[in-house]
């Protein structure tokens, strides 16, 4: 299945979703990006350059690890993990960012901007900017700045300016809005390094293409290490880039179930979560450059969201995944904060792995289902990031009183510094 073969003439649409909804002033900038991306995609030398960069700089290919202890403990399916946490900067975000960095060089631009929630995309963008010599600015909701302080520290020390966004709910959607405002003002020398497979065309296609490296590797690795394709694949879904990256390697394998794991937060009820599709609280709308499902009220105003994971706390979802959901190719499940905490505990104790809070949503759903499956079944989890960045939030979730006191002291000190 070629998700990006727009033979019907509706370029940038996946079924009824996607498109390019932007102010007229950005038209020429988007057209330039589409043209440059199309040339790069049709040029085998560009992909070779990208692959070489990812091998020499980021450490690809990332391995697949069999979680023997956890599989034995659960007594069900054999659990494997695609180790995107072992990328440079600690997540899958570097795949997309370095690819877009190569495009920026081709376009001759000198400045990059980016939004970030969990901080991993901002961290990766700051890394790319330092590597290629670009000026960079990262927009991040003020709440996320406080709860993801380790990543902010690295961004700033690599030379990026981090802007704490105080509008709205002060999280990811508000950071995206600020990026779009900046882009309108600085189109000539600036490229917006959008971090997930959302936004206006060509971003969903472009980000998915760079992230497809995950699925390409994983398919071969599973055949080699497990001797078969996985029966089910799990990935967390905020915007959806790590999920669509992995899923692309198995899109034509109809016996492989694809499972997207959303932020169930406190559970069902508007404002309690960031689950667009599993809880069915979202509706179709147009915002932030695309047509897709959003958590919004009847007037089209965006609802508040909640998740223990900053990177999943988003009001919209990748239009490609929405189309696949409507086609019954991808199943969506909601995972609560409590389930995430329990999954973290068992994964850390049984395997010595510390998944990011975002990734732990996929672990939680896989653990729940694997226990009910046969020992001959195989499941694959995309470990999209590692949990170093979440140390304060995880300590709080695990009820560590010493760390809670330490976190409060640091938060108060940071607030007093402005």
Q: Are 208 and 247 in contact (CB under 8 A)?
A: no
Q: Is 41 a catalytic residue?
A: no
For the chain, helix, strand, coil in percent to 5 are 50, 20, 35
Place of tokens 């920026």: 104
CA dist., res. 391 & res. 389, Å (int): 6
Enumerate helices (H) and strands (E) in the chain, giving the number of each. 15, 14
**Residue 115 known to be catalytic:** yes
Given 84, 115, 205, 333, the catalytic residue = 115
Would you say 381 and 409 are in contact if contact means Cβ atoms under 8 Å apart?
no
Q: Which of 58, 71, 241, 384 is catalytic?
A: 384
Check: CB of residue 385 under 8 Å from CB of residue 362.
Answer: no
Cα 63 to Cα 65: distance, rounded to the nearest angstrom? 6
Q: How far apart are CA 314 and CA 293, in angstroms?
A: 11
Give the active site residue among 71, 82, 91, 93. 93
The closest alpha carbon to 241, from 35, 95, 30, belongs to: 95
DSSP H helices in 186-255: 203-225, 241-247
Counted residue by residue, the chain has a size of 418
Identify whether 93 is a catalytic site residue: yes
Let me know: does 128 contact 161? Beta carbons within 8 Å: no
Rounded Cα–Cα distance for residues 311 and 291 (Å): 21
Which residues are registered as beta bridge partners of 278?
none
| Letter string b/e over residues 293-308, b meaning 16 or more CB atoms within 10 A of that residue's CB | bbbbeeeeebbebbbb
Residues with a known catalytic role:
93, 115, 384
């Amino acid at each position: 299945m070629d998700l990006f073969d727009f033979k019907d003439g509706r370029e940038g649409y996946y079924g009824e979703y996607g498109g390019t909804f932007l102010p007229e002033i950005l038209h020429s900038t988007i057209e330039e990006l589409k043209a440059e991306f199309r040339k790069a995609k049709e040029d085998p030398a560009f992909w070779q350059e990208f692959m070489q960069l990812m091998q020499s700089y980021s450490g690809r290919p990332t391995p697949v690890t069999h979680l023997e202890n956890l599989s034995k403990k659960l007594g069900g399916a054999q659990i494997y993990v695609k180790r995107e946490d072992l990328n440079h900067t600690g997540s899958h975000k570097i795949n997309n960012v370095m690819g877009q960095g190569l495009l920026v060089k081709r376009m001759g631009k000198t400045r990059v901007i980016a939004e970030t929630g969990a901080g991993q995309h901002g961290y990766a963008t700051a890394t790319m900017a330092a590597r290629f010599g670009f000026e960079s600015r990262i927009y991040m909701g003020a709440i996320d700045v406080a709860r993801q302080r380790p990543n902010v520290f690295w961004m700033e020390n690599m030379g990026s300016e981090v802007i704490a966004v105080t509008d709205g709910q002060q999280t990811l959607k508000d950071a995206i809005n600020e990026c779009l405002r900046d882009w309108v003002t600085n189109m000539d020398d600036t490229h917006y390094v959008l971090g997930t497979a959302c936004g206006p065309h060509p971003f969903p296609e472009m980000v998915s293409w760079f992230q497809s490296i995950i699925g390409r590797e994983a398919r071969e690795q599973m055949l080699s290490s497990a001797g078969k394709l996985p029966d089910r694949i799990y990935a967390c879904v905020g915007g959806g880039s790590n999920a669509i990256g992995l899923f692309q390697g198995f899109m034509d394998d109809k016996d492989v179930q694809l499972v997207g794991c959303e932020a169930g937060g406190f559970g069902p009820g508007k404002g309690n979560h960031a689950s667009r599709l599993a809880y069915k609280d979202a509706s179709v709308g147009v915002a932030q450059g695309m047509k897709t499902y959003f958590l919004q009220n009847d007037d089209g105003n965006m609802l508040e969201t909640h998740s223990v994971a900053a990177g999943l706390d988003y009001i919209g979802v990748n239009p490609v995944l929405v189309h696949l959901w409507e086609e019954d190719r991808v199943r969506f499940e909601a995972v609560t904060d409590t389930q995430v905490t329990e999954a973290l505990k068992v994964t850390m104790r049984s395997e010595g792995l510390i998944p990011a809070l975002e990734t732990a949503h996929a672990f939680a759903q896989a653990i729940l289902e694997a226990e009910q499956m046969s020992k001959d079944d195989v499941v694959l989890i995309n470990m999209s990031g590692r949990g170093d960045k979440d140390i304060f939030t995880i300590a709080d979730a695990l009820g560590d009183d010493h760390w809670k006191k330490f976190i409060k002291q640091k938060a108060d000190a940071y607030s007093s510094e402005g």
